[in-house]
Structure 1
Amino acid sequence: MSTLPEPLNDDTPVDAPQDRYFNRELSWLAFNDRVLEEACNEHYPLLERLRFLSISANNLDEFMMIRVAGLIGMVQRRIDTPSIDGRTPNQQLAAVREAVDELSERQQAVWRGLHEMLDAAGIHVADESYMDKQGVAWAKEYFVEEIMPILTPQAIDPAHPFPFVQNEGLGVLFNLTRERDGGQVIEMVLIPPALPRFVRMPGETAVYLPIETLVCRHADRLFPGFKVEGDGAFRILRDSDIEIEEEAEDLVRTFRSAIQRRRRGQVIQLEIQDDCDPVAEALLRDQLEIHEANVVKTGGLIGMSDLEQVVEEDRPEMKFEAYSPRYPERIMEHDGDCFAAIREKDIVIHHPYESFEVVVDFIRQAAADPDVVAIKQTLYRAGNQSAIISALIAAAEAGKSVTAVVEIKARFDEEQNLMWAGKLERAGVQVIYGFVDWKTHAKVALVIRREESEYRTYCHFGTGNYHPVTTKIYTDLSFFTADPKMGRDGARLFNFITGYVEPRKVKHLAISPLNLREELVSLIDTEIANAQAGKPSGIWLKMNQLTDDGMIEKLYEASNAGVEVQVVCRGICSLRPGVPGMSENIQVKSIIGRFLEHSRVFAFANGERLPNAKAKVFIASADWMSRNLNRRVEVLVPIRNRTVHRQMLEQVLLANLLDTEQSWALHPDGSYSRLPAGDKPFNCHQYFMTNPSLSGRGGSLEAGRVPTLSLRKGAV
C-alpha cells in the first residue's frame, strides 16, 4: 500500500479549534491548487493540461461568487459566528483573499508556460503576431459582419448613466478624444455572452483571438471621428448565492425572483488588465462600488475559464485517448432487459467506466413496458439535454403514474430545473419541489411493475446526478436492486419527500436529516468497541468533502481507541490527520486525475480485518458535511449482495487506497504532497478503464479476467 505521512512527533495537547480542524475555505483553495497542478502534469497531453487550467479558473470563479460572497455578507451584517477552526468571518476573509491572490498569480504563471508550449505545437492563443495580411483582412471583415452589429457602445456621462454589467460580464472601456473639438469621452462596450470568447481564424494553423482583442483592434470602426487614447478589458463576478425565506408562500415564484436578483448581486471581484487606461479604470472602480470587492490586475489573460473553448481544437494527439464506456455484460446477457438482469441479482454500474445508458435504458424500458404502473424519481441536476426527462415524459404520455421530485434549489441549475419542471408538468407528470428549507439531494428512482399477481419494485440508488454530461467525467455508482425490503424503504422515502410523512419502519436505508448521522455514529461506535475489546477494526471512507465537526470528532475518538481510519477525500477536508493523541491512526489522501472522483462509499470492518466478506459497506449521496447531514434529504444504502459487496471493497475502495499516480497525501500541518509513484505505480482510473466490474461482468467472462487487488501487493 502507498506510504502516507508520518504523524507529528509533538505530544502537546491539541484542544484549540485551530489545532483540531482545518479551515473549510482554505482547504477548498488547497484542493483547487491541486487541480491547477494537473495543468503542470507533464504526463498529460497538452490540451488536457489546458483543460485543467480552465477548470481551476472556473472553480475559483464559483468560489468567489458563493463562498467569498458569503463571507463578505457576514462581515457587512456584523455576524461574528466563528468557523470550525475558530476564525471570525473577517479573519477568514483576510486569509482567503491572500490565498486567492496567490492562486490567481499561479494560474497566470501556468498560463504563460502553457501558452509557450501551445505556440510551439501550432496553437496560438491571444497572439496577433501570427496574423498575416490575409488574416488581418479576414479579422476586419469578421468584426464588421459578425461582431459589430451585436455591440452597443455606450457613452458614460450625465446623460448616459453607467450601464449595468451582469455577473461574469466582460467589457472594454475606451478613453476617447473627439477629433472635432478635442472633447474627452469615456465609452463602454459590453461583450454579449452570445459571442464566442475566442474567435478561431480560418486555416490549418490554429489562431485564437480573444473577443476583447478584436473589439480593441477595430475601435476605429466603432468610434469614427474619435482618437483612442487608451482602453482596457475588464470582467466582474457578482454575489450569486440565493437565500430563500422559509416562509415563502410560492417556492417557484420566489426562486424566479431570486434568480433575477442574483444577476444584480453586489460585485465580488473585478478582473482588469494592468495596462488599462487609468482614467477609464478610475471611473470603473467608482461606478461599480467595489469597496469590498477583490481586484485582480493582471498582465495576462482575464476570464481563463473560457479557455475550455480552445481545448475543443481538433487535435486528438494532444488529448487523452478517447474512452468509450462499457455496457455491462450482465444486462446484454438478458438481451438488454434491465428488469430481468436486476431481478436475477443486484448490480452496480460504475460510471464513467460503465455506460450511463444503463440508467437511461432502465427508465426508457419502464416507460415502454405495459406492466409498469408507476415511476418515481428525484432530479437534482439533469443537464440541458436530458434523456431521463424525455423518458419520464414518454412514460406519463403512455398513461403511467409518474412522480418527479425536482430540486429547484440546485445551485446554478435553478433555471434549468424550473424549465424541466414545467415541461414535465405539461406532459402530465406529478412534479414535487420537496421541502422549502431542505434540498432533496438523494438520487433515487423507483419503478413499480405488475408481475403475475403482485407488484415488484425495482430501485436505483445513485451517488451522482442523472446528468448526461457529468456521468462521462464523474466517477459515480448506480446501484440497482429488486429487494422487496429496499423497495418498501424507497417508497417510504418518497412519501416523506412528497407528503412530509416521516417514515417510521425503514429497515435498511438511513435518511438524513432523520437518522443518517445516527447510523454513521453507531457504525463508528461498533469499530471503537471492537478495537477496545482487542478485535480487528478499521474504517475506509471515500467522499468528496469532510467538514462536519461532530463526525470528525467521532473519527478522532476512533483513532484514539486504536481504529485505523483510511480516508480518500477529493476536496475539502477539515480533519487534521496524524496528530499524536488525537488522530495518529487516521490517514487522508486526495485523488485528482482524468476523472472527477464523486462517489461516496463507506466500509466498516465489523470485527475482521479489512477487506472482508462480513464488513458493513454502504454507498451514499451525502458527504460528511453539516449541510448534508442536517439540512438535506440524503440516503445511505447498505450493500448486501455478495458480488456487489466485493466490488465495492476489493475494486472501488481498495483501488482508490492503492493509487499512487494521482494521489496527494494530507499532512498534519494542512499541506498536501504528491505520493511517490513507487516501484509499482498504480493508477486507479486506468485500472477501472481496463478491467470489467465484478457485478457487471456476466457469465461470459472468465473469473480470472479481473485482476485481484491486495493491500500488500497492489494489482496481481
Structure 2
Amino acid sequence: MKEMTPREREASSNDYLNRDLSWIEFNWRVLEEAQDPETPLLERMKFLAIVSSNLDEFMSVRVAGVKDQIKAGYVKKDFTGYTPAGLFKRVMKRASKMVSEQYKTYRELTRQLSKEGIIFTDYEDLNLTQRKAMDEYYHEIIFPVLTPMAVDQSRPFPLVHTQALYLAVVLMKEDEDPEDEPYFAIVQVPSNLSRFIEVPVRSNSKKHEFVLLEELMEQHMHTLFSGYTPVAVHAFRLTRNADLTLNEEGAEDLLEEIEKELRRRRWGSPVRLEVQKGIHPYALEQLQYEFEISDNTIEIDGPIDLTYFMKLSGSLKGYDHLRYKPIEPVYPAELDDTDDIFEVLRQQDVLVYHPYESFDAITDFICQAADDPKVLAIKVTLYRVSGNSPLIEALASAAESGKQVTVVVELKARFDEERNIAWARKLEQAGCHVVYGLVGLKTHAKITLVVRQEQDGLRRYVHVGTGNYNDNTAKLYTDVGLFTSHTIIGEDASALFNEVTGYSAPHNWKAFGVAPTDMKDKLFEKIRREAMHASLGKPARIVAKFNSLSNQEIIDELYAASRAGVKIDLIVRGVCCLRPGVPGLSENIRILSIVDRFLEHSRILYFENEGEREVYISSADWMTRNLTRRIELICPVFDKQIQESLIRILELSLSDNVKARQLQSNGMYVRVINEEVPLRSQFEAMRIKSWKKKKPHPEA
C-alpha cells in the first residue's frame, strides 16, 4: 500500500474517537441487553440496574473531571478535538437521551413483569386491607428512623450524601396565607431499609406486589411536620465528585491519608442532580441554588436510581424461568485428581478460564501453600477482594504459622478503598507484611508467588491472572489465569515483588513486560515487528482482547501497522478511541465488542510473528493510566497447548454473531449479522472442550 505523505498524515482529531463519548456508547450496549427480548426478563432488569450503576460512576469520576477543567478555565482541545466545555455539552446531551431511553425500557419491563405476577403498584391503587398493612409498616418500621431536616435562617442546608435518595418537601403553615413564601425541608430515604416493600396479597395468590419506600414516605409525610401542610413531595439525588486527591509523597501514612480523603469525599463538589419529573419549582430552585448545579439537572420520569433492581432480581423466589440457568463452574481437570497442586505444576502449566472453571483452584493453591510446611514465603497482590474472601483467612493463617507473607494491597482501588483498608489492618494484625505499593502508582498487576523448599532446592510457583483475586466477581467476569513453575517467570515474579516492596533498580525482565517502565515499549516493539513482517510479505497478524483502548500512541502504532498491511482484530468491550475502517488509515482493523451474560474482562494478546506465534495474558488495558500510572504486567505463555487454548478463546469471540457488535468508523456499533450458524461465544465457552481440546490452529 502506498505510504501517505506527511501532509496527508498530519495529526487530525478526526482520526480518533473521544473516550467519554465512546464510554456512553458502551453503556448504550448494556441498555440494549435490557431491551433484548431474547434475554430473560429478570436478567433484563439487572442490565437496567447496571446501566444506572455505570452512569453513577461515570458522572462521579469522568464528568466530574471535565467539570473541574471547565471550572479551572482550561480550554485546550484533547487529542480527539474536544474542549472540556464542548465535551461536557455533548456528553450530557447523549447521557440525557440514554436516561430517557432507559426509563422507557423500565416502563416496558415493569409491564411485562406485571404479567408474570411481579407488580409495582401505587399506594392509591391498594385496597383497604393492603393500605392498612402499609400504614402499619410505616408507623412501626419507617417512621422511627426518619429525620426531617428543615432549611431556614437558623438551620443551614444539611449535608446531602452522594447518591443517596432524598425527598424534597415544600410546606405551608396551616394558619398562614397561601401566597406567602413556603417552607422547605428534606428527608433522607433510609438506605438500610428495603427500597421495595412487599404488599400482602390473598393467601392463594402467587403474585408479588410492591410499593416503593419513598412513595410510602410521601403518603405519610404529614406525620413528620405537625402544624404544616406538605404542598409537594418529590425525590431527588445528588452525585458528587468521587475522585480522590492524594498527596502521597507528603503522607506519612498512606492508609490514614486515604481514610481522611474518604471522609472528605462526602463533601465532594456536586456533579449531577437528579430530580423527580414534575418537581415543585420552589424545591428545584432551592436545590439548584444550594448545589450550584443548574447545568446538570436531570428530570427522571420514574423512580430515581434503578440500581435497586439488582437486589430485587436476585431475591425473588419462584421465578427461575425468568433468569439464566445457573452454571456450575467445573474444577480444572488438570488439578482435579490430585491433593498436591505443586506436584502437578512441576510437570505442566495449567490455564484456568473463569467463570467456566472454578476460582476454587486459586483458593486451593493459596490454602495449600499456607498449610504446606515446605512453603517458605507467599507473596500476592490484592486489588479488589470480596467481602468474606477465603484468601484473606489463608494468608493470615500462613503468617501466623511463621511463613513470610507479603501482601501488596492497593488502597486506591476506586470505591473499594474502605474494604481494602479493613483487609490491610486484618492482615497486619496476623503478622503479614502489608505494602501499599509505590508512590504515585496503583498496583494493578494480578500475581501470586509461592516459594517452596524442595529436594533439588528452592522452587517458585506462580499464578498470573487477568482479573482480581475476588471469588465473587470470578463468577460474573470472564478472566484467565496461568499457573506455572517456569523458572524464568518465577525469577521475574520475585523481581517484581522486590521492586514493589523495596528499593530496586529497574529489572531486566526476561519474560514479563511491566508498566510503567517497559510495557509500552514492548508492545510498540511487537506491533512494529508485525508491521515489518507485513511489509516484507510475511505472515503478520495481531489479535488482542481487553477492556479499553484510549492511549493515542498505541493507536498510532496500530494505524501504522494497518497501513503496512497487518490484519488486526481487537475485541474491546468498553471504551475505544481508535476509528476503524478508514481508508488509508485503519482499513485492516476490525473492532468487536461483546456485551453478554458475563462481563468480558480477560486480557489476551496474540502476535503472528512470521509463524512463530506469541501469546500473552495481561492485567492491563491499553489506556494511558495503565501504561504510565499503574504497576501492570504482561506475561508470556510458553506452553504450546495453552497457547492453542487462548487462541481458541480469541477465535470464539471473533466468531460471535449473536452478542458481538462491530465498531463503525463513525463511532457507532452495529450487531454482527452473517449467514453463519449462530454462535454465542460465552455460551459456547461453557462447553469446556470447545476451547480446551487440542486441535490445529485454523488459518485466519
Report the TM-score when normalising by structure 2: 0.95
Please state how far the C-alpha of 1:141 moved relative to its aligned partner.
1.0
Q: Which of 91, 94, 98 is the aligned partner of 2:89? A: 94
Q: Deviations over 1:349-403 (max 9, x none)?
A: 1000001111111111111111111100001111222111111111111111100
Q: Distance in 1 between matches of 2:510 and 2:401?
A: 33
Is contact 2:381-2:407 (8 Å) kept? yes
Please state how far the C-alpha of 1:119 moved relative to its aligned partner.
1.4
* Runs (5+) with no aligned partner, structure 1: 1-11, 609-613, 696-702
Alignment CA distance shift 1:15-1:197 (3 Å): farther
Alignment CA distance shift 1:692-1:126 (3 Å): farther
Residue of structure 2 equivalent to 1:636: 634
Alignment CA distance shift 1:81-1:255 (3 Å): farther
Residue of structure 2 equivalent to 1:698: none
Q: Deviations over 1:309-352 (max 9, x none)?
A: 221222111000011111112111224x2212222200111000
Residue of structure 1 equivalent to 2:185: 187
Please state how far the C-alpha of 1:16 moved relative to its aligned partner.
4.7
Is contact 1:151-1:192 (8 Å) kept? yes
Q: Distance in 1 between matches of 2:62 and 2:325?
A: 36
Q: Deviations over 1:39-73 (max 9, x none)?
A: 01111110001110110111011100000000000
Residue of structure 2 equivalent to 1:624: 622
Q: Deviations over 1:87-110 (max 9, x none)?
A: 111111111111111111111111
Is contact 2:684-2:690 (8 Å) kept? no
Q: Deviations over 1:150-203 (max 9, x none)?
A: 110122211222111011121112222333556843221112322222223345
Q: Distance in 1 between matches of 2:86 and 2:121?
A: 38
Query: Would you say 1:455 and 2:458 are equivalent positions?
Result: yes
Q: Distance in 2 between matches of 1:84 and 1:558?
A: 20
Q: How does 1:191-230 map to 2 (within 5 A)?
A: 191-203=189-201, 204-230=206-232
Q: Distance in 2 between matches of 1:707 and 1:139?
A: 63
Alignment CA distance shift 1:213-1:165 (3 Å): same
Q: Which of 655, 659, 667 is the aligned partner of 1:658? A: 655
Please state how far the C-alpha of 1:690 moved relative to its aligned partner.
1.9
2:311 maps to amino acid: Q
Please state how far the C-alpha of 1:217 moved relative to its aligned partner.
1.2
Please state how far the C-alpha of 1:430 moved relative to its aligned partner.
0.3
Residue of structure 2 equivalent to 1:149: 144
* SS of aligned partner of 2:678: coil
Q: How does 1:412-423 map to 2 (within 5 A)?
A: 412-423=415-426
Alignment CA distance shift 1:291-1:297 (3 Å): closer
Q: Distance in 2 between matches of 1:265 and 1:53?
A: 27
Residue of structure 2 equivalent to 1:329: 333
Residue of structure 2 equivalent to 1:105: 100
Is contact 2:123-2:216 (8 Å) kept? no
Q: Distance in 2 between matches of 1:149 and 1:322?
A: 40
Alignment CA distance shift 1:206-1:342 (3 Å): same
Alignment CA distance shift 1:605-1:708 (3 Å): closer
Q: Which of 52, 77, 82 is the aligned partner of 1:82? A: 77
- Cα RMSD of the aligned pairs, angstroms, is 1.8
Query: Would you say 1:318 and 2:322 are equivalent positions?
Result: yes
Please state how far the C-alpha of 1:281 moved relative to its aligned partner.
2.2
Q: How does 1:584-599 map to 2 (within 5 A)?
A: 584-599=587-602
Q: Which of 292, 295, 298 is the aligned partner of 1:296? A: 298
Alignment CA distance shift 1:15-1:118 (3 Å): farther
Q: Which of 40, 44, 51 is the aligned partner of 1:45? A: 40
Please state how far the C-alpha of 1:228 moved relative to its aligned partner.
2.2
Query: Would you say 1:71 and 2:69 are equivalent positions?
Result: no
Residue of structure 2 equivalent to 1:611: none
Q: How many residues align?
A: 684
Please state how far the C-alpha of 1:486 moved relative to its aligned partner.
0.9
Q: Which of 243, 252, 261 is the aligned partner of 2:245? A: 243
Q: Deviations over 1:588-639 (max 9, x none)?
A: 110010111000001000113xxxxx31110000011111111110001001
> Which shifted more, 86-95 or 484-493?
86-95
* SS of aligned partner of 1:576: coil
Identity %: 38
Q: Which of 264, 271, 278 is the aligned partner of 2:274? A: 271
> Which shifted more, 634-643 or 155-164?
155-164
Residue of structure 2 equivalent to 1:284: 287
Q: Which of 165, 169, 172 is the aligned partner of 1:177? A: 172
Please state how far the C-alpha of 1:86 moved relative to its aligned partner.
2.1
* Runs (5+) with no aligned partner, structure 2: 1-6
1:632 maps to amino acid: R
Is contact 2:166-2:187 (8 Å) kept? yes
Alignment CA distance shift 1:710-1:683 (3 Å): farther
Q: How does 1:662-677 map to 2 (within 5 A)?
A: 662-676=659-673
* SS of aligned partner of 2:35: coil
Residue of structure 1 equivalent to 2:675: 678
